[in-house]
Structure 1
Amino acid sequence: MSHSNSDTPMIELVGVSKLYGQVIGNNDLNLKIAPGAYGLVGPNGSGKTTFINLLVGQLRPTLGSVRIFGKDPWVDRKLLRRIGLCPATDVLYPNVSAAEWVAYQVRLHGFSRSESRRLSTEALDFVGMSDAMKRPMGTYSLGMRQRTKIAQAIAHNPDLLILDEPYNGLDPVGRYKMTQLLKQWTHEGRSVLFASHVLHEIEAVTSSFLLIHGGRLLASGTADEIEQILADTPQEVSLTGPDVDRLVHRLADAPWVQSMQLTEERTKLKVALRDPTKMYSQLARWISEDGLRIHQFQTAEGDLTALFESLLRHHRGEL
């Protein structure tokens, strides 16, 4: 029975593991997602690059099957025309101009020489490299090289754009421009999967996440769904100030406190909470009643490691 394209998942992994000798790069990945924009989130070294290399057919799974638009990327090399990859590694062709390099990459997809040049120019315009594209890449800043890599990934108009840590090494202006560029790409109805270890950079582009840690896919869903998982998870907060140690006795009896840790210099207190809302409502009262000097109250939400630790505990059934 033939499926129409809309029914075919964009990415489908069934029982995929990739072993490097004794080391597991990815372990038992199962995933089925429709076209759209997704952030692949995980701490560095979590298996994001292995996962991407499996998708683009640069690696073959040791076990299981990978399908992109219903086809096997390891076997079907024509599939690469539908995928654009911006790898994490830097581009090192100091004497070649961006225009030449991008045109050459497009040519590899089977386009004619003149078509390749036209597509190269269009893509470099799109990423804001028009002025510098004839200069040798050795003269470029890191941000310019990063934009050139993206131009190479989008020049052949792929259906799916895959980016590995596209924000690496960019300054704040470069980061803003990168976000705008990815938003524009998704607004045009195209699909993107981009790996990052910074949650808020992904949230600026899409609310759909795939969480990867230790080579395993822990969860996929929207930011809200993942926050819901976290709402049932002990949250860590830290308080800083000269009087934090005077909070210890207040917190000691609270049923919603799971654990506490005071630093040696007694100016920082870390608290794991079962119900953060209870803490928020009590804290202000305690500070005013006891006249405490507390300068900073921080949740660990921005800290991805905490997020993953709690998801892992979920995953192992410890919560």
Structure 2
Amino acid sequence: MSDSMIRLDHVTKLYGNVIGVNDLVTELPTDSYGLIGPNGSGKTTLINLLIGHFRPTIGTVEVFGKAPTKNRSLLRHVGLCPASDVLYPNVSAAEWVRFQVRLHGFSRTESKRLALEALEMVGMTKSMNRPMGTYSLGMRQRTKLAQAIAHRPQLLILDEPYNGLDPIGRSEMTTILKQWRAEGRGLLFASHVLHEIEAVTNSFLLIHGGRLLASGNLNEIECILAGTSQQIRIAGPNVEKLLHRLAGVPWIESLSLTQNPRELKLAVRDSAELYRQLPGWVIADNLEVETIRSSDGELDALFDSLLRHHRGEAG
């Protein structure tokens, strides 16, 4: 099997005149990755390309060195937990998962054993013989995960796996995915919620508008964004006193003042320098600062910064 888990070579997928993904280029060794982007960014299109449901309009897709559309046996090595609900209401989880494993070529006896092990792993043993039409959304999500992992794939692909899970279910899901990662298997975890992925892996692929904006860990992405402005808001009854301090400062790209609430909005290229000088200004000018809010860690702000970086608007 190839050392490369996923390879995308200038991959574009068109739906008529609509672009699903646009010129994706990356190569990923076997590891765990978060595929993160807002709804409609191209995450599900990319997943469908990886499992061979879609054929790229331009470029080539390889999973473990093979094209998914030409090598259907490749699916034996891939497990998919889709975002859509694909369960059958009159069939039990035990029957459904066992049937899914059989489709990968396992014997009846082996399929039953693997299905039971997977359902136990996701906490569905007590309910596995009930019709799936009686399940809650969280139980259906667990059952989908069970069928994705039951045949012991080398790559597990999950599309919004936390949908419908309560806090306990989310914690249990995170534990399962961490264990999967610890076993050295591949994981591609699609979500639009950054902290969900951060709990499992610190390696990211950031996709927006069908384009891959950045890839790497958080430190590497921060390096990409070095020199890109952050949005910072400082609120308080007399924050206008800061205007004379900030006017003409080279690392301030823009500043504006709102009246109600009284808030100073800044676009700052060097936030560290702002935070270094701000305490002195507060004391010297007798400022009353109630809140300071930064865009750090906010997904929308991160994508906005990356988009401006790609358009050449940073720095």
TM-score (norm 2): 0.93
User: Matched residue of 1:272: which SS?
Assistant: strand
Q: Any conservation in 1 of the 2:225–2:309 contact (CA below 8 Å)?
A: no
**Residue aligned with 2:130, SS:** coil
1:186 lines up with 2:202 in the alignment: no
| Distance in 2 between residues matched to 1:192 and 1:183, nearest whole Å | 10
- AA aligned to 1:157 is R
SS in 2 for 1:156: coil
1:91–1:145 contact (8 Å) kept in structure 2: no
Instruction: Number of aligned residue pairs: give it.
Output: 314
Counterpart in the other structure of 1:305: 300
Gaps of at least 5 residues in structure 1 are none
Moved more, 235-244 or 300-309: 235-244
Of 91-100 and 36-45, deviating more is 91-100
Identify which of 276, 280, 286 aligns with 1:285.
280
Are residues 1:72 and 2:67 paired?
yes
Corresponding position of 1:233: 228
Q: Which has the larger displacement, 176-185 or 281-290? A: 281-290
Change (3 A) 1:169 1:230: farther
Mapped partners of 1:97, 1:261: distance in 2 = 60
Mapped to 1, the partners of 2:48 and 2:265 lie a distance apart of 39
Q: Which of 86, 91, 109 is the matching residue for 1:96?
A: 91
Matches within 5 A, 1:125-144: 125-144=120-139
Alignment match, 1:274? 269
Residue 127 of structure 2 corresponds to residue 164 of structure 1: no
Which sits farther off after the overlay, 292-301 or 125-134? Answer: 292-301
Task: State how far apart, in whole Å, the 2-side matches of 1:33 and 1:242 are.
Answer: 51
Provide Cα deviations, 1:76-132, integer angstroms capped at 9, x if missing partner.
111111000011112442332211221121122222222222111100111121222
In 2, are the aligned partners of 1:245 and 1:266 still within 8 Å (CA)? no
Which shifted more, 266-275 or 54-63?
266-275
SS of residue matched to 1:302 = coil
Deviations 1:240-277 (A, max 9, x none): 34444443333224322111233452433321101001
CA shift at 1:239, angstroms?
Answer: 2.4
Q: Give the whole-Å Cα distance in 1 for the aligned partners of 2:109 and 2:150.
A: 13
2:216 corresponds to 1:216? no
CA contact (8 A) 2:87 2:140 kept: no
- Calculate percent identity across the aligned residue pairs: 64
Aligned to 2:310: 315
Deviation at 1:317?
2.7
Amino acid at match of 1:307: L
C-alpha change, 1:288 and 1:171, in structure 2 (3 Å) is: farther
1:315 deviates by: 2.0
TM-aligned CA distance change 1:264 to 1:136, over 3 Å: farther
Q: Give 2:35's aligned amino acid.
A: L
User: 2-side partners of 1:139 and 1:246: how far apart?
Assistant: 62
Change (3 A) 1:263 1:97: farther
SS, match of residue 221 in structure 1: strand
Change (3 A) 1:290 1:37: same
CA-CA distance at 1:65 after TM superposition: 0.8
Q: Distance in 1 between matches of 2:164 and 2:256?
A: 35
Q: Residues of 2 paired with 1:144 and 1:241: CA distance? A: 47
**Stretch moving more, 113-122 or 292-301:** 292-301
Match of 1:145?
140
Q: Which residue of 2 aligns with 1:108?
A: 103
Q: Which residue does 1:251 correspond to in 2?
A: 246
Shifted more, 107-116 versus 16-25: the winner is 107-116
RMSD: 1.8
Provide Cα deviations, 1:136-188, integer angstroms capped at 9, x if missing partner.
22232222211111111000100000001112232322222211111000101
Residue 204 of structure 1 pairs with residue 199 of structure 2 = yes
Secondary structure of 2:74's counterpart equals helix
How far 1:234 sits from its partner (Å)? 0.7
Amino acid of the residue matched to residue 180 of structure 1? T
| Number of the residue aligned with 1:60 | 55
